[in-house]
Each structure stands twice: as structure tokens, then as C-alpha cells.
Structure 1
Amino acid sequence: MLSTTSAQQCPYAPTEDVGAAEARASRAESNGGKPTLSFDKNTPYVDYAGIDTLLSLQNPRTKEPAESAFIIGTQVMELVFALIQQRWEQARDALEVDDVPGAVAWLRSACNAQDVLNSTWGLFSDMTPTQFNRFRDSFGEASGFQSYSYRKLEFLLGHKSAAMIRPHKAMSGVVTDLTDLLERPSLYDAALRLLHRRGLPVPDTSAERDWTEDYEPSAEVERAWVEVYADDRPGNELYLLAEALVDVAERVTRWRQLHLAAVKRTMGGKPGSGGSNGLNWLARNAEKDVFPELWSLRSTI
């Protein structure tokens, strides 16, 4: 059951509009149970989801068929990035008000979105280096490294760097959003602050620090999580939180590994379009643990 706090924060009405429900029932009756087939303008489905706009955004610059898969896959990822960001922020905010059940629910929901995100790499799984080379020059210096939606996720995970805002300096709204995430506690910071409030041995320097700095692992924080894991009863909400965070972290690592594999398959060790050394940079990033103490403690308990 969700806590009272979570229920009070829920912005969604628990019941549907009575008039709209009656209209739907009347329409179904008049249609004899069949779908409506006649509309005077765009179908409501097209208008509601902006389908015309969505499908107009695929504009390949070459005649290579694989470029369409590359563009669509990239756009799907960007959409799911935004969904994951929303759910991680909801989880972070729930933790800041001691609503652990609410936070766990949002993390579980985020994991479902992360699974969809990871499966998107399948759209690139059969792309050969020859196909990629036919359209690679068409996107110039464009690189996933420049995705501000992905950068928001990294900041939410605690991987902070003010320098990573610089590529977006011409986009004032993006700079504002990234700066806000840079200066606020990350999802993991919020979890540690919760443990600190609950009396676990998270040091003051972890509960209150310069949020703009990249998170650094702490032996004291590891000991706090070890205490959480010492009580693995189903009713221990902190234990459930820890495992939900691990589920999130595992999926982030999997996404990085899939990214590495896709690049290795399509372009090997060539320099990246965004100016990095490509494969080597991705390999180093894939090796970094997300929420590090939740992994290191497994060697000690």
C-alpha cells in the first residue's frame, strides 16, 4: 500500500469524468460495438499523439536504408530518456520527503522504461560497417555525447560536471534545466540523505555536500548500506529501496555495454564523430559502477 504522503502527492484523479464515460458508452451502443470509421478531419488518435508531426521528423540525408533505422532508433531513445528522467525525479523527490514506498514504486516504473530503452539497441544490431560508412559523413560532428536528455540522466545518477553543460550554451532553456539538476541532490544523494535521517552511519559530508561535484565513493556510506542489508526482511523498506536502486544501476550499466557493442560492431576503434576516441571512451564509461557502494558491499557481506 502506498503511504499517505504518496497518495497526497499523486496528481492524478482516481475516477474518470462521468460525462465522458457516458459519451463513450453511448457511442459504443450506436456503433453496435464496432469502432467509429468516419471522421470529418484528422482522427483523434493522430491529433492526440501528434503522429503527423512525429512521422515528419525522419529526414535521412542519404539514400542508405540503414540511416532511417539509425534516426528512428535515436529518436526513440530520446523519448524514453525523457520518460526515465521524469520517473527518477519523482523517486528523488519522494525520498526527500521520506516517502520510501513511493520512491520504490517510481524506481520500479523507471526500470520498465529502461528495459524498453535497452531493447532499442536492437534496431542497430544488424547494421554493418559498410552500411554505416555510407551515411556517417552526413551527420558531421553530431554525437550522442551531445544529447542533453542523456546528460540530465547522468546528472540525476550523480555523475556531475559543469563542463558538460557547455555544449548547450546556445540553448538557454537546456542550460537552465541542466544547471538545476547540477545544483540539486542526485537520486543517489537523496537516498543517502534519507539513510542519514534514519540514523544510519552516512557521514555529514555525504548528507550535505557540494552537489555540483561528481559523487565519490565512501567507506562510511558502504557501512551504512551493509547495515541495511543486514535486515533483509520483506518489510524493511530501506532494503527494498537498496535493491530497487541496484536494479536501476544494473540497467544503466547494461545500456552502456550495449552502446559499446553497437559502436564496436559498426565502426570499431575509429575516432568518434563528437571528438572523443570513440570505443575507448565508451569502454571506460561502461566500467564505472552506478551507485558504487551498493556494488562494493557485495564483496564484504
Structure 2
Amino acid sequence: MPDAEIRPSERDAPERAHADFTRSLSYGDYLHLDTLLSAHQPVTPAHDEHLFIAVHHVSEIWLNLIVQELRSAMALLSSGVTDAPLKMLSRVVRAQEQMTNAWEVLKTMTPADYLQFRSAFGQASGFQSAQYRMMEFLLGNRHPALLRPHAQRPDIHGLLQAAMQAPSLYDLTLRLLAERGLDIPAAVLERDFSQPYEQHPAVLDAWLTVYRDPERYWDVYELAEKLLDVEDNFRRWRFNHLTTVERTIGFKAGSGGTSGAGYLRRALDTVLFPELWQVRTEL
């Protein structure tokens, strides 16, 4: 029957939905749901281990998206493009929000719930997440010791090492400032990228110039504000991580060998884009 002759009530009926997938992809086929869901393998009968695995699986998927968006944005920034990266960084921010909200779900697990399965996964820890480490390296938080957990996987170690030795998102942004005629010292532009960035007074002066005349430097001004959005959300994620750990295991050592909450509390002091925060005080 032609669509024009089908009554609205029949057009909206579930029987009209496509049901033969012998020659086309179904929803499950397209997303490889059998593979995805088969990875959900608790090692104990504890009820809350399902929650624990689900939250970490979902976080890894968001991390994968964040890394891809950061890489794409950085590739464009390295060629002088500033408009498209803003959309990509906005997507990073939204994905970060989803990761932060995941802690709220995990907080429904009590210490007694967690103790039912914690010993079963040994020294496995989120500290060993290669995708999280890649995100940190792209954002500029770098330290050679952070590569050590990946030494037994040369493929992953190589990718992380390459990222640590290349310009970060902020390094590429500072190159753009120099291309706009602002005075960024060669010592900043040609620094050892494998080391953490250290703030520089000349960089602060350059950002002051941008923030005092945003109309003239609108593209890098807008980019700077987007970078602050990214770091702001990164801080929220870290803070929620810390409070989740504290309410679940207190100040016990982490499963991966760190001090646990103490390590996470120290990580809160990390500043990725220092001059962008300091410029607010100086304006």
C-alpha cells in the first residue's frame, strides 16, 4: 500500500519497523554489542562488581572519544586553524561531564560492597589506564614515571612516549600566539616537551595583551576560554574521583601501588594552563 494511503495510526505502528536484517546491519551488528557486552566479566559473585566494571568500561569509551577529539583539534591548531577546534574542545568538555557524573553512580557502592570483590582484581588500577594517560599527556601533564606501568606493552608505551615528546595542546596554543605577533620566547616554543610546562612571565604578558584587547585577538581569546573549560572540567573529575575514593576506602593504599587518596589529593594541585588562570589576577 502506498504511504499516502496509510492512515496515520497505522504509519506509527511498531509493525512498520524494519525487521529483516539478513542483508543489512542491525543495531547490535553495527555497534558490535556481542563483543562489547562480552567484555563485562566479573570475577566474583559480588553484586556491586557489575557496577564497578560498567562505570570503568563507560569511562574508557568516553576517554577514547576525548583522545580522538583532542588529537583532531591539535592537528588543526598546528596548521593555524582555530574555529573548528573550538567545536571539538566543546565536545571534550561535554564528554568530561559524563565521566564526572559517572562517579555519582559509583558512589552508590558502600565500603562493605566494595570489600566483597576488591581483593579479586589484585593490582589492577585506573592508574594503569593508557587512554587516561594519553589524555593527560595531550593536555600537558607529563612525567617520565607515568610511562612505567606500560613498559610491558611496547605498542602502548611507544604511543604514549611519542605523545609525551610532542607539543601539548597548550604548546600549540602558544605557537599561535607567536604567529599572531605576540612575544613568546624561543625558550618556551622550543622547550623539552617531555617535561612539565613551567609558567613564564612573558607568556603571562602575552595573555594580558589578548585579554585586554579581545576583539583584536578574538580567535585566540576564544580558544583560551575553551582551554579553561577543559581544565575546569578536568579538575571537577579529579575532585569527584578523590571524594569517591575517600568515601569508599578512606586513606588505604590504592590497588595499583599509589597512596590512594593522598596521591589523588596531590594531583589536584596540578595546573595545566597556569598563565590562563593567573591572567585573571593581573587584569
**TM-score, reference length from structure 2:** 0.91
SS at match of 1:126: coil
The answer for the alignment partner of 2:86 in structure 1 is 104
Shift of the 208–234 alpha-carbon distance from structure 1 to 2, 3 Å rule, reads: closer
The answer for the alignment partner of 1:132 in structure 2 is 114
Tell me how far 1:289 sits from its aligned partner: 2.0
Tell me how far 1:161 sits from its aligned partner: 2.0
Tell me how far 1:162 sits from its aligned partner: 2.5
Distance 1:256 1:130 in 2: 24
Tell me how far 1:201 sits from its aligned partner: 2.1
Cα root mean square deviation, aligned: 2.0
Checking the alignment, whether the CA contact within 8 Å between 1:234 and 1:240 is kept in structure 2 is no
Checking the alignment, whether the CA contact within 8 Å between 2:176 and 2:220 is kept in structure 1 is no
**TM-score, reference length from structure 1:** 0.86
The answer for the alignment partner of 1:202 in structure 2 is 184
Q: How does 1:204-283 map to 2 (within 5 A)?
A: 204-233=186-215, 236-283=218-265
Tell me how far 1:277 sits from its aligned partner: 0.9
Deviations 1:150-183 (A, max 9, x none): 0001111111222222211221210121121011
Shift of the 46–192 alpha-carbon distance from structure 1 to 2, 3 Å rule, reads: same
Say whether 1:114 aligns with 2:113.
Answer: no
Shift of the 198–234 alpha-carbon distance from structure 1 to 2, 3 Å rule, reads: closer
SS at match of 2:236: helix
Shift of the 42–198 alpha-carbon distance from structure 1 to 2, 3 Å rule, reads: closer
Distance 2:142 2:21 in 1: 50
SS at match of 2:116: helix
Deviations 1:78-107 (A, max 9, x none): 111111011111111111111011222221
The answer for the alignment partner of 2:7 in structure 1 is none
The answer for the alignment partner of 2:169 in structure 1 is 187
Checking the alignment, whether the CA contact within 8 Å between 2:231 and 2:272 is kept in structure 1 is yes
Tell me how far 1:43 sits from its aligned partner: 5.9
Deviations 1:257-299 (A, max 9, x none): 0100110110111111111111111001012222111112111
Tell me how far 1:69 sits from its aligned partner: 0.7
Tell me how far 1:235 sits from its aligned partner: 7.6
Q: Which shifted more, 34-43 or 215-224? A: 34-43
Distance 1:102 1:249 in 2: 19
Number of corresponding residues: 273
Deviations 1:183-238 (A, max 9, x none): 11011110011111211122111111111111112122111111111123398111
Which amino acid in 1 is paired with 2:54? I
The answer for the alignment partner of 1:169 in structure 2 is 151
Say whether 1:91 aligns with 2:73.
Answer: yes
SS at match of 1:275: coil
The answer for the alignment partner of 1:52 in structure 2 is 34
The answer for the alignment partner of 1:72 in structure 2 is 54
Checking the alignment, whether the CA contact within 8 Å between 1:77 and 1:117 is kept in structure 2 is yes
Q: How does 1:20-39 map to 2 (within 5 A)?
A: 34-39=16-21
Checking the alignment, whether the CA contact within 8 Å between 2:80 and 2:176 is kept in structure 1 is yes
Tell me how far 1:59 sits from its aligned partner: 1.0
Distance 1:181 1:157 in 2: 10
Identity rate, percent: 38
